[in-house]
Amino acid sequence: MASELGNELINPRPVPPPTTACCPCPVCGSRSVEVLSQRSRDHTPLSTVLCVYCGVARTDPMPDEGELARYYQSEYRLDYKGVVTPRKKHVLRAGRLARERLLYLKHYLKPGDVLLDIGAGGGEFVAVALAEGLSAEGLEPNQGYAHHASMVLGLPVRQGTWQDSTVTPESIAAVTMFHVLEHLPDPIACLRKLAEWLRPGGLLLVEVPNLTAPLATRKRRFHRAHLVHFTPETLRESLNIAGFEVLEAAAPGDGGNALALARRPEARGQFPHADETAAVIPYAAAQRVLQFEQSSPLPASLVLPHARRLARRLASMVEEQLTVRSFADGAAVLEALKRGRV
C-alpha cells in the first residue's frame, strides 16, 4: 500500500515493553496489556495488544486519525476488495446479508421510521430497508462506493463519516453498523454520539469480527484496517459503557462475527468518565481471551466443522458467479434482491 498509513505500519514506531502500551485502551483507559501478535496477516509488522482489564484488543500504537480518514476515503475498498466500485457478486452477497440483518430490527420498527446505516458500502442495506418501507439513509466514507450508491443506484447514501455528520438529536429510530466499529480508533466516542442521535428507545445493531472466532485462521485475524478487536462479551460491555441497554450480544452462525442489538434507554444517566470505566468491566473477559489464545488453533473437534465451512464458502462463491451472469449490472441485481428473486 502506497499511503503513509501503510508506510507507518510497515515501519512502525518503537513499541514499549510488552506490559505497557503506547496508547491507553480506547474502552477502559488502561495501558496494561499482553501482546497478542507482532505481525499482520500479510506478514508485515503490526503490534496487536490485549487490554488485561477489559479484554478488548487493539493496534498499538494507533495510526494517525487524519491519515486514517484519507485511507478510508480513497484506498480502503481498493486495498480490501481490489475494486473502486462493487462488482455484481459483491452486490448480491451484501444484499442477501442485508435481508438477514434486517430481521433483527424488523419487529421493532414500523414503516416510515428513520434508519441510518453507517459504513453503507454500496448501499445494499439501505436499499433493502427502503423496500421494507423504512426511511433509510446511509453514510459511506469511500468516494467510489458512495458515488456508486448515490449516483448509479440512486440511493440516499452520502459520502461522509459519523465525525463530520450533523444529525438532529433524538431523530433516528435505528442505527446500523456492520463491520465498522473495529475500524475506529475511538469506538466509545462514536457509540456515545450515536446514542445522542437515537430517539429514546431507539435501536443500534452492531456487527464486528469475533476475536475468539473458533474457526478463524488465527494468523489472518490482524491487519492494518482493523484497529480494535471485540468478543461478544466485550462488545456488550463497550455498549454498556456508551450508555446503551444491550438486548442481545452473541456470535451467531459459525461464530465468526460478534453481533449486538442495543437500545438507547428512555432516560439516560451520566456516562462514566474514561478513567472510571475499567472498574465496571469484568476482568474475566481478558482472561477468557488469553485462554483462547493459548488453546490449540484448531482442535480435532473443529477440523470437520472447519472443512465444512470452507466447502460452504466455495459453493457460495460458485453460486454467486452463476447467479449474477444473468444480470446486466449491479443495479439489476439489487432490483432482483428487493423483489426477492435472488
Cα 289 to Cα 40, 138, 213: the distances in Å are: 19, 34, 11
pTM over 0.95: no
Per residue in 285-327, pLDDT (tens digit) is: 898 999 998 887 777 677 787 788 788 889 889 999 999 999 9
Cα(182)–Cα(317) distance, rounded to whole angstroms? 25
Structural contact between residues 50 and 231, judged by C-beta atoms closer than 8 angstroms: no
**Helix residue spans in 178-299 (DSSP H):** 187-197, 232-241, 284-294
Q: What b/e readout covers 240-267, taking b as 16+ CB neighbours within 10 angstroms?
A: bbbbbebeebebeebbebbbbbbbbeee
Q: Is domain 81-338 classified as CATH 3.40.50.150?
A: yes
Per residue in 231-244, pLDDT (tens digit) is: 999 999 999 999 99
Structural contact between residues 4 and 35, judged by C-beta atoms closer than 8 angstroms: no
pLDDT at 275: 43
Above 60 in pLDDT, residue 169? yes
Average pLDDT estimate for 239-264: 95
Cα 307 to Cα 153, 217, 228, 301: the distances in Å are: 37, 12, 28, 11
Cα(81)–Cα(89) distance, rounded to whole angstroms? 12
Spacing of C-alpha 8 from chain mean position:
23
pLDDT at 338: 87
Fill in the DSSP letter of residue 152: I
Above 80 in pLDDT, residue 60? yes
Above 60 in pLDDT, residue 274? no
How many CA atoms does the CB half-sphere of 315 hold within 13 Å?
6
Q: For the chain, which residues make up each domain, given as ranges?
A: 81-338
Above 70 in pLDDT, residue 281? no
Q: How many CB atoms lie within 10 A of CB 217?
A: 11
Above 70 in pLDDT, residue 7? no
- What interhelical angle do 330-338 and 88-106 show, nearest 10? 30
Above 60 in pLDDT, residue 16? no
Structural contact between residues 221 and 293, judged by C-beta atoms closer than 8 angstroms: no
How high is the mean pLDDT of the chain?
Answer: 87
Above 70 in pLDDT, residue 181? yes
pLDDT at 268: 60
